[in-house]
Chains A and B, each alone.
Chain A
């Protein structure tokens, strides 16, 4: 029970967002401020949905984050198998380079990447949001570790039975590595969904903005008196993150704990 008060304080900003989203007009600015709204009218939500393409923002984020996750998981599975289970010249070199890419912070490479996308004509497109994040050094590293722990005899037996290497990879190795794959997928999805700087730079039209960028723009345009509406939009845009967290808390925590490995 020692934790009751700190936990409530920690939860308060989320609670207060929801509360504000139901407050009407001057109720928002009442002093002293109230924790709970007087009524549960949904008109702020109506107003928010009319004033901003909230659904479009969510769809954009969903497309962006899902595509990045699928690409990262797929490319990482292939590369991790090559590094963990096959022999080829320069293997060590590629492993080191892939690991080294984990140390490059995204913030310091936005300028050249922006120029590259401008050349490709990918600014303000889904490709521009997704493709630069199609591969993950961390994902390769994580699955590489996992694949190496799977006994070689298993693969030899499958090969003797006539299975190709790719078939072994997708029918036996990947299913056996599901905990790691899922934890990585959740981690990749949340990281992609929460991106800010890159989508800010790459998207130009309102139709392409992700949830994170859309909410900032929406607030800047509606400042001053429509806080109830702004908080209604925030509630709608934050809800998927919280729902995903509640649904996948275990994998979520695993993903973060494993990200500690990359340090």
Chain B
């Protein structure tokens, strides 16, 4: 009989225990809780089946929250991809001279969403803020960014793009570094101009990175919370009440754990779907599309 080797179990147990208690169990328990009504004081639960989900399906507020989340994704993902790709291309063109600029662009990545919000909050001040001052020099009367339901989501999105930009630049720079310079060189010799080389050589070679950055940005946008909590608290009139914020409010302000858990399950499903899309298509590598 062979002796059991205990070492692997010993080494594995801290990770397995911690992940089991604080990630796997809560993920499964959320699903269970979503079928319960939880009493906020006694924590007693009553099985209610689909009721929480039905309530969500009938809640105009929740549908609005979903719409706000999708708009927030639209407002953050596309601008941040376009701008970060442009910045990465410019940085990549002269890597040595641009070290200083690179540092300036990447710095906000180290800044938390809460601090990023703090930096922007006064820039958005309707009368003394720098943003509206700049607009006024162009003859435009700027809105009351954070208090105006039409503009508040845009304002939160701008601060978010500012913070996430460097994150995407890092991936695009890594992607650009793996594009063989001979390809561009060959295209140049064949008479392709810079514009043609970008669309026909660089971008197709970079397409897996663009795709990856896109999906990661979508996931990030669905997870955004700190900047919203500081800038707008979901308001005004629910204009920035994204799915995570709605979940937080129902769980920790309205004390409806079951109802909030149903929202958590739906949010999880959305993020998981994005992850799988990335897995399936990402594996195929979009390259020469």
Which residues in A have some Cβ–Cβ distance to B below 8 Å? Answer: 2-4, 6-8, 10-14, 16-17, 20, 28-33, 74-76, 78-79, 81-83, 86-88, 91, 94, 97-98, 101, 103-116, 131-135, 137, 140, 165-166, 190, 193-197, 200-201, 211-213, 215-216, 219, 227, 230-231, 234, 237-238, 241-242, 244-246, 249, 252-253, 256-257, 260, 263
| A109-B264 contact, Cβ under 8 Å, with A17-B119, A94-B16, A103-B275 | yes
Identify which of A7, A17, A212 contacts B112 (C-beta below 8 A): A212
**Smallest beta-carbon distance B260→chain A, Å:** 6
Q: Would you give the 0/1 interface string for B234-258, flagging 1 where the beta carbon is closer than 8 Å to chain A?
A: 0000000000100110011000010
* Size bracket, chain B contacts: 35 or more
**Who on chain A is nearest to B27 by CB?**
A104
Q: Would you give the 0/1 interface string for B1-32, flagging 1 where the beta carbon is closer than 8 Å to chain A?
A: 00001011101101111110111111101100
The reply to whether A263 and B106 contact each other, CB–CB distance below 8 Å, is no
Specify which chain A residues have a CB less than 8 angstroms from the CB of B7 in the assembled complex.
Answer: 82, 86, 165-166
Q: How many A-B residue pairs have CB under 8 A?
A: 259
Identify which of A12, A134, A212, A230 contacts B226 (C-beta below 8 A): A212
| A10-B114 contact, Cβ under 8 Å, with A16-B119, A105-B271 | no
| A75-B30 contact, Cβ under 8 Å, with A111-B260, A201-B252, A260-B171 | no
> Could you tell me the distance between the alpha carbons of A88 and B10 in the complex, rounded to whole angstroms?
12
> Could you tell me the distance between the alpha carbons of A29 and B114 in the complex, rounded to whole angstroms?
23
> Could you tell me the distance between the alpha carbons of A234 and B111 in the complex, rounded to whole angstroms?
11
Does residue B278 face the partner (Cβ distance < 8 Å to A)? yes
**Known A76-B15, A86-B7, A263-B275; 19 more pairs at CB < 8 Å:** A83-B12, A87-B5, A101-B19, A101-B23, A109-B22, A109-B30, A112-B26, A112-B261, A115-B257, A134-B14, A137-B19, A165-B7, A196-B229, A212-B112, A238-B111, A241-B111, A241-B112, A256-B109, A257-B170
> Could you tell me the distance between the alpha carbons of A198 and B123 in the complex, rounded to whole angstroms?
27
**Smallest beta-carbon distance B72→chain A, Å:** 14
A-B contact pairs, 16 of them (CB 8 A): A78-B12, A104-B268, A108-B30, A108-B247, A112-B30, A116-B26, A134-B22, A135-B19, A196-B226, A197-B225, A211-B112, A219-B118, A252-B106, A252-B109, A252-B110, A263-B282
> Could you tell me the distance between the alpha carbons of A145 and B235 in the complex, rounded to whole angstroms?
45
